[in-house]
Amino acid sequence: MIKFLDIDYLDDIYLLVNNYLNFIDYKYIKNELTNLDNEIIGFFVGTELVGVLSYLKILDEIEINYIVVKEEFRRNKIASELFKNIFKLKDFKVINLEVDVTNRSAIEFYLKLGFKQIRIRKNYYQGKDGLEMKKVIGEL
Ligand SMILES: CC(C)(COP(=O)(O)OP(=O)(O)OC[C@H]1O[C@@H](n2cnc3c(N)ncnc32)[C@H](O)[C@@H]1OP(=O)(O)O)[C@@H](O)C(=O)NCCC(=O)NCCS
């Protein structure tokens, strides 16, 4: 089941996300949950939160903040299902994101969803380079 997450889920989101992306801290998530332009959607198996996708709406564009699926639940299309909810949003033309250039699994995942590689941004992640990717909504 997929649903929008509110501040009541702050601790659950933090425990899931910070485990894999340690630069996303508690305060960062709290700020996201209180920003009206930011949405976080969660994927539940039973009552357990096993996937989250956070994004920011900026005019007619969407900026992905992060997506995380709990390790033992990966390769079950959970992240793909979370993204489907973004692809069907009305009034948005483009989805942008940055990913650590060394994060091959995430890059493969984004390519599979139809994202294109735009450019490398030097020193984007605490000394690591970031790959900027983009998808025009509706294009394969
Ligand atoms: C990237 C991530 C969100 C993918 O989640 P997922 O639920 O396993 O992804 P899906 O099952 O929807 O994958 C869909 C397709 O993407 C590709 N893909 C996903 N993970 C992959 C991997 N590790 N290696 C190669 N291709 C991969 C495959 O084509 C896959 O389809 P298939 O399983 O039929 O081959 C997950 O690996 C994750 O949480 N990583 C850690 C956090 C992270 O790095 N997030 C991204 C940066 S913000």
6-55 pLDDT, tens per residue?
999 999 999 999 999 988 999 999 999 999 999 999 999 999 999 999 99
pLDDT at 139 over 80: no
pLDDT of 123 over the 90 cut: no
Angle at alpha carbon of residue 68, lines to 61 and 124, rounded to 5°: 60
Per-residue CA distances from 82 to 42, 50, 66, 71 (Å) = 8, 11, 12, 16
How many Å lie between the centroid of ligand 1 and the Cα of residue 100?
14
Q: What's the whole-model pTM score? A: 0.95
The share of the chain scoring above pLDDT 90, in percent, equals 89
| Distance between Cα 113 and ligand 1 center (Å) | 10
Ligand 1 proximity of 57 Cβ (cutoff 6 Å): no
Domain-wise residue ranges, the chain: 1-92, 93-140
Q: Is 110 a catalytic residue?
A: yes
Ligand 1 neighbour 137 (Cβ under 6 A): no
What topology is assigned to 1-92 in CATH? Aminopeptidase (3.40.630)
| Ligand 1 pocket residue status of 3, Cβ below 6 Å | no
For the CA of 21, the closest atom of ligand 1 is 42
Q: Distance between alpha carbon 51 and the CA centroid of its chain, in Å?
A: 10
